Structures are given as structure tokens and as C-alpha cells.
Chain A
């Protein structure tokens, strides 16, 4: 299991992993041209890639292996998401399934950056699932408060690293959601408070 490094090194590893995953996706798209029109094959390919990445994460002993597994995991998740969208189901159900998948992967794959990014993906897909509901702003407002309280008390929990990665991801996604949804006037009132809370957490952590 990897040791926690400085945040900017983690950002660098995350972005380069993302770029590599784009190339992996491209490669798969070109090799398996036919498979990309078939949702179930694409989904299976995604599961295989993520499972491979999971095995590599477990035995990850070097930075190169870490990069490869991160790229594979991102590529696999992208394939699975596209496959779910291509399935003949309602759009908001697709978002719910994607959100559940990311929640499972976030808990299972033992890697800080992966947990952080999966938490963002999970939260955004869950928001898109709830988007038409009347309670969206209430639910996300309460989530925001819960995330903030948990962040402050995270060192009281057993797996601090895991909790921290997930909570930072959720907090970032809330800010992103507020920005993206600004024009539709949903939950924008929480924006200032969340920004302030996020800033204060950063300030306390001395990570900014």
C-alpha cells in the first residue's frame, strides 16, 4: 500500500495517470473497433481493466506500476461508464449505476488519488441522478455539513488516509457542482459557505 506523499506530487501522478489512461483507451478503441459498438463487451473489457488495476495496486511496489495501474483503472472506469450509457435504460438510472460502481471502487481500490477522484465521480453522478428531485439541495446541503464535520474529526477514525481522500473528493465535487449548476439556481446559496469551509480546512491543514 502506498505511503501518502505531498499533495502536489499526488496531483502530478494523478494527471499523468489520466493522460496515460486516455492513450490506453485510444489503443483499446483501435484494437477492438467492433467491440466499441457493443455495450456488454465494452463493459466486460472495463471490468477486466479495473480488476487488473486492482491486482496491480495490491502488489504495487514501484512508481511505474502505480502509474500503469492508475491508467488502467481510469480507462476501465471510462469504458464501463460509456457502456452503461449505451444500455437501453433511463438516463438517471444510468447515473445511479455509475455512482454505485464508483462508490464500490472508491472503497475497494487502496490508492489515495484513485479514492479522491472516484469520490468526485460518484458524487457528480449521484447529483445527476437526483437532479430532477425536489430534495436535491437539501440532501447535498446536509452532505456538505456532514463532510465538513467528518473532515475535522477524521483523525478519530481508524482509516484516516482513506477517509481523508474520500472527504476531500466529496468537498471538491460539491464546489464543482455548485459552479456547474450556478445558472439553474440550485444549491448556489451553499457556494460561499462551502468555499469558506474548504478554504478554512486547507488553511488548518496548511496544504494550500
Chain B
């Protein structure tokens, strides 16, 4: 559209405002339910609170099933997914289950997973990823040996990379290519956490894992398939990672000439950044020309 220098037609505008208003209605509805319960906590009885949330959940599911409008259906299911969380939080507050806080988010994500698949809606997937990430961040294992005492970024890296592998597998088996944003988020979290880990004390172990991760990303997203987003994330990790490692090496050897280190790192970043951006642009061009031929 921008190439043709034209604006969208009237029907597209109407559709756009309809979708926007529906999304805002859904979000406002969720906010109003949670605030209503929170503000009237002492005035409302526990059964009324449960009946209210469960009733609204059933109504949302009913609307989602019986409506003919696909967007109303998706947003109703999204609202129902949110209400599951409100219900679980309510249950935890009323009966004081003493459960760890990560459990709420993990079981919430687990319970709404079938709805997320059914709704085929990006916002539902974003909610799901947000819940899983929150559960990972809050997860403090007590008994599971391997995960005991893990730092936050290591935990994020392990889980996100694992999820990425699972996602790659299931997205090929099932038709969920439309939820590309999940793949992008998992990749970004995985890359960010392993690059930050290079700053920690156990630099040798993490450097080894980082190199393996880079090879893995290159193999999957360049040799087996072509994903320029993944390669951009990888490139950024290379630039930042190499800077961190070089800085640590020179700092550790107490190199006298600090100006020389900074000059070298500056040049290295410029050359690497320039080379990698050229490579990425070339790949994008190749992909575009291939798509045009198709």
C-alpha cells in the first residue's frame, strides 16, 4: 500500500475500528472484573465471588462457541483465558493454599493452552508466553537437583531454548505459523539471557554454551531453513558477546594501554557490525527476490 501511495479503503477502516474497539472492550472487561472483586473484597461473600467469575467464564465461552463473528469468538476466548487466572488467584486468596507464586502462572498457562490453540489469536499466544516467562522467573526449585540455585538468566536461557526447540517441532506439525511472534519472543529471550551470562563468573562454561548456541542457531535458521530475524538476533549476540569477552580477557591480563583496548574494541565492533549488517541485507535481498520469483 505504501508503495502505491494510497490510503486504505473505507471498508478497511471500518474493519480496523471494529477490531480495535473489540480488543479494547475485552481488555476493559477483564480490568473491570478484577477491580470489582478487589474493591469489594470485604463486602462480597466468597461464593458470590466464585459464582461471578465462573459465570462470566461460562458466558465468555458460550459467546465464543455460538457467535458467527470470528473476532468476537477470539476475543471472548481471550477474556475466558484471563478469567481462568482471576479464578485461580481468587481460589488461592480465599482458601490460602500457600502455593508458590510460580505455580499460579504455570498452571494458568497449562489450563488455557487448548483455548490458545483453538482461538488462533496472536494476543492469546502473547498472554501464554507472558505467563510461562513469569512462571520461569518466579520458579525457585527446592527439590529438583539440577535446577537448584540456578541464576535467573541461566534459567531463562534453558527454558526458552527448550521451548524454542519444542515450538520449532510443533509449528511444523501443526498449522500455527501465524503465531510467529512466539517464535520471535523465545529466540530473543534465549539470545538475551545467554549473552548476559557471559558477564558472570563462570565465563568458560557460558562461553562454551554460547558458541554451541550460535552454531545451533546458524544451523537451524541458515542451513536447514532461512529466518533472517533469528540471524539478526544471533548477529547482535555475536557483536555484544565478543565485546564482553575481549574486554574481560584484556582486563584480566591487566593490559597497560587502555586506549589501545578501547580503540581495538571500537574497530572490532564497527567491522563486525558492518560485515554482519551487510550479510543480513544480502540474505534479505535474496529472500525477497526468491519470493518475487515464486
Contacts and interface: CB of A to CB of B under 8 A. Distances in A.
Interface stretch (B74-82, B135-143, B158-166, B269-277): B269-277
- The SS class assigned to the A binding surface is helix
Interface stretch (B93-101, B169-177, B196-204, B233-241): B233-241
B278 to A, nearest CB: 4
Contact of B275 (A11, A30, A63, A68): A63
A1 to B, nearest CB: 15
Interface residues of A, number: 37
A26 interface: yes
Contact of A27 (B7, B27, B239, B266): B266
16 contacts: A9-B228, A9-B232, A12-B232, A13-B277, A19-B269, A30-B259, A31-B259, A62-B274, A63-B281, A64-B271, A64-B278, A65-B274, A68-B270, A71-B266, A154-B2, A160-B5
Given A9-B277, A20-B266, A200 B20 contact: yes
A94 interface: no
A38 interface: no
Interface string B86-114: 00000000000000000000000000000
Contacts of B27: 192, 196
Interface in A57-113: 62-68, 71
Interface string B254-294: 00001100110110011111111110110010000000000
A65 B233 CA distance: 22
A160 B4 CA distance: 12
Given A16-B273, A160-B5, 12 more contacts: A12-B236, A19-B240, A26-B266, A27-B266, A30-B259, A30-B262, A63-B275, A63-B278, A63-B281, A65-B274, A66-B274, A156-B7
A24 B264 CA distance: 11
Interface residues of B, number: 40
Contacts of B276: 12, 16
Contact of A23 (B6, B233, B262, B271): B262
Contacts of A12: 232, 235-236, 273, 276-277, 280
A5 B5 contact: no
By Cβ-Cβ distance, the 6 closest A-B pairs, closest first, are A23-B266, A16-B273, A64-B274, A63-B278, A67-B274, A8-B232
B1 interface: yes
Contacts of B235: 12
A15 interface: yes
A84 to B, nearest CB: 25
A155 B274 contact: no
A107 B19 CA distance: 35
B44 to A, nearest CB: 26
Given A30-B259, A63-B275, A155 B2 contact: yes
A17 interface: yes
